[in-house]
Amino acid sequence: MSEYKPLKFHVPEPTGRPGDEPDFSGVIIPEAGSVRRPSIDTHAADMKELASTMVRVLNKDGEAVGPWAEGLDDDILVQGLKNMIRVRAYDERMMTLQRQGKTSFYMKCTGEEAIAVGFRAAMQKGDMNFPTYRQQGLLLSTDYPVVDMICQILSNSRDPLKGRQLPIMYSSKEHGFFSISGNLGTQFIQAVGWAMASAIKGDTKIAAGWIGDGSTAETDFHAALVNASVYKPPVVLNIVNNQWAISSFRGIAGGDHATFAERALGYDFPALRVDGNDFLAVYAASKWAVERARRGFGPTLIEWVTYRVAPHSTSDDPSQYRPKEESSAWPLGDPILRLKNHLIKRDLWSEERQTQTEAQYNDEIRAATKEAESYGVMGSGASPKDMFDDVYEEMPPHLREQRQKLGV
Amino acid sequence: MPQMSMIEAIRDAMDVKMGQDDDVVVYGEDVGYFGGVFRCTHGLQKKYGKHRVFDSPINESGIVGTAIGMGAYGLRPCIEIQFADYIYPAYDQIVSEAARLRYRSNKDFIAPLTIRTPCGGGIFGGQTHSQSPESLFTHVAGIKTVIPSNPYDAKGLLIAAIEDNDPVIFFEPKRLYNGPFDGHHDRPASNWSKHPLGDVPEGHYTVPIGKASVFSEGSDVTILTYGTMVYVAEAAKKETGIDAEIIDLRSLMPLDVDTIVESVSKTGRCMVLHEATQTSGFGAELAAQVQERCFYNLESPVVRVCGWDTPYPHAQEWDYFPGPGRVGKELKAMMEAE
Ligand SMILES: Cc1ncc(C[n+]2csc(CCOP(=O)(O)OP(=O)(O)O)c2C)c(N)n1
Ligand SMILES: [Mg+2]
C-alpha cells in the first residue's frame, strides 16, 4: 500500500461570497509613511521589500506623512482632485446613456480614479500609455476633447473611430493613449516594445503598460516582464489590482498570498506596491518610476492596490458572486474623499469648492453629451461606408467589390 | 420532453456526461462559482464540486494546455473559452499540440478534449465579441469542428464531442443562445420555448459528429450553411418564395459530403452562406467540394454570401451581418442566372 495519502486538488476561494460578511482581514495595511523611499537608481535586489509592503502617504487623519510625501506639488494635488471628480462625473453620465439605450456598453472605474489620474500627472507629453479599458482617467486628465470621447461611446458620425470599436476603446496618439484592444494582456508587451524603440533611437520618452490583476495570468504578461528584464527599456508596468476579474477574485490569478508586485523580482527589476486609493502615494510612486525610466535606470513594475467598486461592465451583476457590502468595507477608502479631506485640512480646498467643482463637471459633461448626441446616437450615426476603409492602407479590389455590393 | 434554451441544453449535456463519467471535468474563465458569463455552467460546481468544475486563470493557452495534460492522464476535459475572439492565445496549444498528439505519438497519447466557445455577432459586441473563426480550425488536420444551430443538436453534439477521443472545437452561436434569430434585428426576439427544436430529451443521446441535417427541403437551390445563418436562410426562403433546400451542416470537420452532393445534384444550384469573412473562409472549401463533385449538375455558379472581409465592426453590425435581405437578393440573382 502507498505511504502517501490521496492528493487533493486546490482551488483558491475568496473570503466572501453573496450572503457572507465582507472580510478584508487578510489585506495587510502598513502605517502611512512607514515605507522607505529608495533613490531611483536602486537595484532590484536592494529594495525587495517594496514589492511586498504598501507605499502609503495619507494617514487616518488625512495628513501626508513619510518620505514619499516629500516634494509633491500642491497644484498637482488640487488638479488631481478636479480630474478625479471629472472622471466620476463622466462615468455616471455614460452609464446613464447606456441605460437609455443610446449606446451598447460601458465600463466604469469607480474607486480606481486616483491611479490613472495620478499616473498621468507624472508623465510628459510624448510619453505613451498602453491602457486597459478601465483607464479613462488617462485621457480625461489631458486636454483631449470630452465630446470626442462621448462620440466614441455613441458610435456616431463624429466618432473618431468611425463606429468600428466597442465603446470605451478610445485611441489618441497625440494624447499618449494607444488604441485599446479588447484582448487582455496583449498590450503589456507592446508597451515594452515601444520603450525599447525609444531607447534604440536615443530618445527620452517613456512608455507605460497597463494590466488588470486577472489579466496578469495571460502569457503576454510573462513576455512583457522577460523583455523588460533583458533590455531594461524605459517602461513602467502597471498592474491595477482591483481584487476582481469579473467573478474571479485575485487568487485565481495567483495573487491570493503572494503580491503581484513580487513577480518583478524574479526578473531582476524593481517593483513598488502602492495604496492605489491614496492620490499622493500614487503620484509619488508614479513620479519615482517615471523618473527612473527616463533617467535610464530601466523598468519598474507597480502594483496599485485598489477595489473595483462598480460592476465589471454594464453586462455584469456582481451581487451574483461577491458580498453586497464588500465595496463599502474596502479598507483603503475612496480616493476622492481621501484627497478632498487632505486638501481641506491644508486649506487648499473646501466643501464649497467640492460642491462647485462637482456641479461644474456635471454641467460640462452634460453639455458635452448634448452636443455629442446631436451627431447621432448608437446605430444612427456611423456610416457603413467607413466599414471598408483602413482595413489596408489602399483598398484592395475585393473590398472595393464588396463595398459596391453593399451599395455604399 | 422538456423545453430548453440552447444555454440549458448545453448545460444539460455537461450535466449528463459529468453524472455518467467521473473523468469529465469542466473549467474556464468565470465558469466555476459564477457559472460562466453566458451561464452555460451555472449550478454545475455546486452539483459536482470544485475539483470537477472550476474557475481558471485568464490564460487561454493555459486552459487548453492543462486540458491536453489532463487528457494525457486520462480525463475528458470540457473547457470553455469565454469568447471565440479570445481563442487565439490558445491557438498554438490547439494547432501544434492537441491536433497532432495522436499522430505524432502513434496513438500513445490522445487529446480527448472539447473546447466550447461562443461565436458570431448580433449582440453589438464589436470586433472582440463577434468573430467566427471556424475556418482557422477546419484548416488544421486533427481537429474536429462542430457548430449546432438549436438546443436539440447542441445537447446531442456536445455529448458526442465529450465522448469523442479527438479534440473537438464546439462553437456556440451566441445569438442563438436564447432563441432562433433570422437576422431581422428590428423585430421582437423569439425564444426556444416555442420552437420544436427547443424540445430536448432528458438524459443521454447523441447527434453524430459528421452528419448534416436537411433543415428545410426544397427543389430550386441548395443553401449550405450552419449556426445562426440557418434561420437567416429560412427567412430569405420565406420572403423570396424561392424553394431553397437548407442544409444545416452542424459538423464542418468531418464534413457530410454525401448530404451535400445529394442535395445539389437534385437542385442544380448552390449557395454557401456563413457569417465569417469570405476570403479563405469555410465557404471556399464548400464551393470547391461542390464544384468537384457536382459540376455537371450545376446550372449556375456556386455563390458565396458571407461577412465582408473587414474586422467585425461595432456600429455597422447590421451592414456587416449577411442578413435575409442580402441572402434573398443573391438567391433571386441565382435563379435568374442560366
Ligand atoms: C484574451 C481575453 N480573454 C478573456 C477576455 C474576457 N474578459 C474581459 S475583461 C475580463 C476580466 C479582466 O479582469 P482584470 O484583468 O482584473 O481587469 P479589471 O476588469 O478588473 O479591470 C475578462 C475575463 C478578454 N477580453 N480577452
Ligand atoms: Mg481586476
The candidate with the shortest Cα–Cα distance to B180, out of B279, B133, B246, is B246
Q: Does B209 score more than 90 pLDDT?
A: yes
Domain boundaries, chain B: 6-198, 213-336
Per-residue pLDDT of A243-267, as tens digits, reads 999 999 999 999 999 999 999 999 9
Q: How confident is the model at residue B330 (pLDDT cuts 50, 70, 90)?
A: very high
What is d(CA B101, CA B167) in angstroms, rounded to the nearest whole number? 10
Q: How many other CB atoms are found less than 10 A from the CB of residue B23?
A: 17
Q: What is the mean pLDDT of residues B5-22?
A: 98
A contacts of B58 (beta carbons < 8 Å): 184-185, 214-215, 217-218, 245, 248, 253
Element (H, E) at B238: helix B229-240
pLDDT at residue A187, rounded to an integer: 98
**Ligand nearest A241 Cα, by number?**
2
Say if CB A90 and CB A320 are below 8 A apart: no
Q: How confident is the model at residue B97 (pLDDT cuts 50, 70, 90)?
A: very high
Residue B60 known to be catalytic? yes
Which of the residues B129, B134, B172, B274 is marked catalytic? B129
What is d(CA A297, CA A300) in angstroms, rounded to the nearest whole number? 9
- The reply to whether A239 touches chain B by the CB within 8 Å rule is no
Count Cα neighbours of B17 within 13 Å in the Cβ-side half-sphere: 29
For an interface test with B, the pick among A7, A11, A97, A408 (most B C-beta atoms closer than 10 Å) comes out as A11
pLDDT at residue B29, rounded to an integer: 98
Q: Does A95 score more than 70 pLDDT?
A: yes
Considering the domain delimited by B213-336, tell me its CATH architecture.
Answer: 3-Layer(aba) Sandwich (3.40)
Q: What is the mean pLDDT of residues A151-155?
A: 96
Q: Does B121 score more than 80 pLDDT?
A: yes
What is d(CA A255, CA A258) in angstroms, rounded to the nearest whole number? 5
DSSP state of B251: E
pLDDT at residue A382, rounded to an integer: 82
- The residue type at B227: G
What region does A66 belong to: left with phi over 0, alpha with psi -120 to 50, or beta? left
Query: In the structure grid, which three cell numbers stand for residue B94, read together?
Result: 490547439
B contacts of A244 (beta carbons < 8 Å): none
C-beta atoms of A246 and B55 within 8 A? no
Percentage of chain B lying above the pLDDT 90 cut: 99
DSSP state of A172: B
Record the pTM.
0.97
| Complete domains list, chain A, with CATH | 44-314+324-377 (3.40.50.970), 384-408 (no CATH)
Q: Does A381 score more than 80 pLDDT?
A: no
The candidate with the shortest Cα–Cα distance to B30, out of B42, B18, B48, is B42
Per-residue pLDDT of B217-267, as tens digits, reads 999 999 999 999 999 999 999 999 999 999 999 999 999 999 999 999 999
What is d(CA A384, CA A405) in angstroms, rounded to the nearest whole number? 12
What is d(CA A187, CA A200) in angstroms, rounded to the nearest whole number? 20
Q: How confident is the model at residue A121 (pLDDT cuts 50, 70, 90)?
A: very high
Q: What's the mean pLDDT when you consider all of chain A? A: 97
Which of A115, A136, A184, A218 should be mutated for ligand 1, with most atoms under 8 A from CB?
A184
C-beta atoms of B89 and A214 within 8 A? no
**Residues within 8 A of B (CB atoms), A 294-323 only:** 315, 320-321
pLDDT at residue A253, rounded to an integer: 98
Q: What is the mean pLDDT of residues B44-48?
A: 98
- The residue type at A87: V
A138 Cβ contact partners less than 8 Å away, ≥ 6 residues apart: A116, A117, A119, A120, A129, A131, A176, A177
Q: Does B337 score more than 90 pLDDT?
A: no
Q: What's the mean pLDDT when you consider all of chain B? A: 97
Distance from the CA of A312 to the center of ligand 1, in angstroms?
Answer: 9
Element (H, E) at A78: helix A74-99
Per-residue pLDDT of A313-366, as tens digits, reads 999 999 999 999 999 999 999 999 999 999 999 999 999 999 999 999 999 999
Fold: same for B6-198 and B213-336: yes
A27 Cβ contact partners less than 8 Å away, ≥ 6 residues apart: A305, A331
Query: In the structure grid, which three cell numbers stand for residue A353, read together?
Result: 469648492
| Nearest Cα residue to atom 15 of ligand 1 | A212
Q: What is the mean pLDDT of residues A274-282?
A: 98
Q: Does B338 score more than 70 pLDDT?
A: no
- The residue type at A216: T
Q: What is the ipTM of this complex?
A: 0.96
| Nearest Cα residue to atom 6 of ligand 1 | B82
Q: What are phi and psi of A343, to 5 degrees?
A: -70, -35
Per-residue pLDDT of B138-197, as tens digits, reads 999 999 999 999 999 999 999 999 999 999 999 999 999 999 999 999 999 999 999 999
Percentage of chain A lying above the pLDDT 70 cut: 100
Q: How far is A103 from chain B (nearest CA, A)?
A: 10
To the question of domain B6-198 being in CATH 3.40.50.970, the answer is: yes
